[in-house]
Structure 1
Amino acid sequence: MFLQTFGEWLYDTPVATGLRETTWVIPAVQSIHILAIAVVIGSALVSELRLAGVIATDEAPGTVVRRYLPWIWRALIVLLLSGTVLIVAEPARTLGNTVFWIKMGLVLGAFVLTLSFRRPLLVAADGVVSEPAKAIAWLLLVVWVVVIFCGRFIAYT
């Protein structure tokens, strides 16, 4: 009930109204959001496939992760900012949507897993990826794919 009331209040604010009524804002912000998703997914794909031992096996896992992790973090900041604009502009579309909250939970989970299990790789000298780390790499790939599907599904629920 709180989210519905908050969403209704937010929808009526001058900022939200201005965002909706300026015809180019939402398409531009959605485009930026999608580009940032591509950066996150592309960087995560390369990093996770390296950790799973599928690609770039001639490079140390820490080197690959170190190369792509900053791209992931920066793109996540862009996603947070652009997503906030989209929520402010159309709060009813997201705040009351279960799929949106599933997506947010998955993104948070991927963030925590990435923070927890990538830090040791950045300081590991031997470059050996353990079997649990490989399993987590595959899990993170699945999570990012589900995040994409949830993001698209929001528009249809």
Structure 2
Amino acid sequence: MLQSEFWLNLEYLWLSEQIGATWLFPLFNSLHVIGITFMLGSLLMVDLRLCGLAARIYSLQMLTRDFLPWVWGAFVISVVTGLGLFITRASAHVLNIAFQWKMILMLLAGINMVLLHFMLRRYRNAQQAETLPVSVRVAGFASLLLWAGVMLSGRWVGHII
């Protein structure tokens, strides 16, 4: 009971009502999609390099230097706009199985990223190599799958009750 009251109270905040009942909702929705597009487009370049499927002539260090600022900047935009969208219908979203899967997959993608970070520290010399260790390639492939799942489940949020 208290938990559902929390989500309902979130929906009745002034900010939630302003976003949900004005032109801010389509603006946040559009910025959310644009942010995700930039994030995943940039992340795709890094992940394909990790998997050894593209850009093998470039060092991983060079690609991460060029693309990770875009990934993080777009991720921040996506999170801020996503929170804005979430609070307008929080009580429905927390019960929505597609939303729950989206959050689980995002958590797993974050864990995968942390593990990848530690693997790359361990294989610092391998970052210059054309072929990366299998564990790093698997983490890149897992990132591709996890973020595809985040996108699909996020798309289904509005269509599953």
Q: TM-score, normalised by structure 2?
A: 0.86
Whole-Å separation in 2 of the counterparts to 1:62 and 1:110: 20
- Supply the distance in 1 between the matched residues of 2:152 and 2:51 (Cα, whole angstroms): 23
Q: Which residue of the partner structure matches residue 21 of structure 2?
A: 21
* Shift in Å, 1:87: 1.4
Match of 1:138 in 2: 141
Between the two proteins, the alignment pairs up a number of residues equal to 156
Q: Aligned pair in 2 of structure 1 residues 120, 66: CA closer, same or farther (>3 Å)?
A: farther
Q: Residue 68 of structure 1: SS of its match in structure 2?
A: helix
Q: Which runs of 5+ in 2 are unaligned?
A: none
State the shift of 1:12 in Å. 2.2
SS of the aligned residue for 1:56 comes to: coil
Instruction: Assess, with a 3 A threshold, how the Cα gap between structure 1 residues 124 and 62 changes in structure 2: closer, same or farther.
Output: same
User: Which is worse superposed, 120-129 or 72-81?
Assistant: 120-129
What is the identity percentage for the equivalent residue pairs of Structure 1 and Structure 2? 24
Unpaired runs of at least 5, structure 1: none
The two structures have a TM-score, normalised by structure 1, of 0.88
Question: Equivalent residues in 2 for 1:51-130 (5 A)?
Answer: 51-118=50-117, 121=120, 124-126=124-126, 127-128=128-129, 129-130=132-133
C-alpha distance in 1, partners of 2:3/2:24? Answer: 24
Q: Displacement of 1:152 after TM fit?
A: 0.5
Q: Which runs of 4+ in 1 moved over 3 A?
A: 118-123
Q: Does 1:155 align with 2:158?
A: yes
